[in-house]
Amino acid sequence: MRMLSQEVIDAQVLRGLEKNSPRMYDIISRRVPSFFQGVARNATGVQGGKLYRAVQNGEFSYRIYCFVKD
């Protein structure tokens, strides 16, 4: 296989996480027991959570690749 292209998509991922944050906060507050809500927020990437901050600070990166079979 040969790689045709590669792109870092962190900005797009952050935008998606920001747009989904209100919905995820609502779901977490309604369905997750209160003592697990902090863990759930960090794991789902809501704005201000651990995953969100890691992408924002460059500690974690999302990439997209395109390969072709030779």
Check residue 9 and give its pLDDT.
98
The answer to whether 66 and 3 have CB atoms below 8 angstroms apart is: yes
The pTM for the full model equals 0.81
| Residue pLDDT, tens place only, 9-66 | 999 999 999 999 999 999 999 999 999 999 999 888 899 899 999 999 999 999 999 9
First to last CA, the chain: 6
d(CA 70, CA 67): 9
User: Of how many residues is the chain composed?
Assistant: 70
pLDDT at 4: 97
